[in-house]
Amino acid sequence: MKLCRSIAEPIREFIDMDHRWRGPDRGLIWCWERGRMLADEDPTLASRARDGELMVLAWRGGVTPGLKIKKKAGTLFYLAQWQGIAGKDLDLDMDGSTTLTCSNTGIEVTYSTEGSADDE
C-alpha cells in the first residue's frame, strides 16, 4: 500500500492525539506535516534535507559523520518527517522499503516498517 500526500495540501488543523497516531496512517502523515513545520522553523535544516543529507532527527534513520557502517535501517516515521523537511510530497511504501544514501556520509539507509533494529 502506498501512502501519498501532495506538498500543496495544507497542514491539517489540530487533530487530537488519538487521531494523529491511531488512524490508518499510524501517524505518518503527522510526521510529514511536522517535518514541514520544522522546515519553516529552520531553513538551514530544510536546505540540508533538500541536498540529500539524512541528518539525525527524533526517529531512527539519520546518520552522523564518523559512523563506521555502510548500511543501516530506518523507520518510515523518519522518512516521512525527512520528506516534509525537504519539501517533498509524502510518498511511502507501507509494505516495502525505500533506500536512500546520505549525501554527507555516503551511508545507505533502508526505511521500512521494520526499520528499528539497533545497528549503529
Q: What is the mean pLDDT of residues 63-87?
A: 95
Q: How far apart are CA 43 and CA 61, in angstroms?
A: 20
pLDDT over threshold 90, residue 19? no
Residue 20 has a pLDDT of 86
Q: How confident is the model at residue 88 (pLDDT cuts 50, 70, 90)?
A: very high
CA dihedral 101, 48, 13, 91 (to 10 degrees): -20
Q: Considering only 34-43, 57-66, 67-76, 107-116, which range has the smallest mean pLDDT?
A: 107-116
Q: Kindly report, residue by residue over 27-58, the tens digit of the pLDDT.
A: 999 999 999 999 999 999 999 999 999 999 99
C-alpha grid cell, residue 39: 522546515
State pTM to two decimals: 0.91
What is the b/e burial string over 80-117, where b = at least 16 CB atoms within 10 angstroms of the residue's CB?
Answer: bbbbbbbeeebebeeeeebebebeebebebbbbbebee
Residue type, 1: M
